[in-house]
Amino acid sequence: MRVAYQGEPGAYSEAAALAFDAGATPLACLSFEAVFQAVQDGTAARGILPMENTIGGSIHRNYDLLVEHELPIVGEVQLKVDHCLLALPGVRFEDVRRVHSHPQALAQCEKFLQGLTGVEIAAVYDTAGGAKLIREGNLRSDAAIASARAAQVFDLHILKRSIQDFDANITRFFVIARQAIPEGADKTSIVFALPSEPGSLFKALSVFALRGIDLTKLESRPIRGRAWEYMFYADLAAPRDDMQCGRALVNLAEFARWVRTLGTYKAAKEVSVPAPETAAP
């Protein structure tokens, strides 16, 4: 199975793709939009997208893309993230004057970066992309925050390991496909918009509370093109075809401006770590 991901080989999304399916063939894409396109046109059977990190929070662009495209969520992966500071062989820690990484990774290592003196922080499109930049440019005063696997791929030296602010650094990924796969589902993701009137959110949440359905996530996002109007993303701890869940969504649709199911799928029960073949020794 070919699984599209955003980034370079050695990116955490590549590790998540292999955690989802150890026999998968990862397909690197330059952007999150390209991941959706690869699935849409059949270049890849699945796409994998980082959605939320326990330190950095949500990747909002991917939530917006789920609404813009008609590709259902069919799976979930939780991946342990361990950030390393990488540089060219022979470069010392004190030689580093610039650090490259994805904005999410930079946010996850904020305390470490604040402790550096005279070092410029540079955001790039991908953690492994920062490592690639250093190798291809032979940048001897630069370092990248990326995975140990990226150090292998781009022949870099690990200056420091586990530089994230908190040990419990976990990223949650969604798996998308062209068609829904409801078998074995125990979780449902939805998005909805409400009229701007008193009590509308209270009523929306009550349709789940009164039926004993747990909301494991609730987040608002601006509706593009409509100033100060919002949509709400919610994860429900129930499959879409569960009778109580179905009734709750019908009830919600009675007063919401609109409701859409983004996917019903099997929730990740454990936190995955990069497979042995994708981890540095």
Q: Which of 173, 192, 208, 232 is catalytic?
A: 173
Catalytic status, residue 278: no
Q: What is the mean pLDDT of residues 204-232?
A: 95
Catalytic status, residue 171: yes
Distance of CA 87 to the CA centre of its chain: 25
Q: Do domains 2-80+169-180 and 84-160 have the same CATH topology?
A: yes
What's the half-sphere exposure (Cβ side, CA atoms, 13 Å) at 120? Answer: 7
Q: Which of 171, 188, 264, 278 is catalytic?
A: 171
Tokens linked to 192: 């909805």
pLDDT of residue 56: 86
Split at pLDDT 50, 70, 90, the class of 280 is very low
Q: Where are the domains of the chain?
A: 2-80+169-180, 84-160, 187-265
pLDDT of residue 225: 86
Tell the CATH superfamily of the 187-265 domain.
ACT domain (3.30.70.260)
Tell me which H or E stretch contains 230.
Answer: strand 230-236
pLDDT of residue 85: 98
Average pLDDT of the residues of the chain: 94
Q: DSSP state, 277?
A: G
Domain 84-160 matching CATH 3.40.190.10: the answer reads yes
Is 60 exceeded by the pLDDT of residue 277? no
Q: What is the pTM of this model?
A: 0.91
> What CATH number does the domain located at 2-80+169-180 have?
3.40.190.10
Nearest-10 Cα torsion for 88, 94, 95, 97: 100
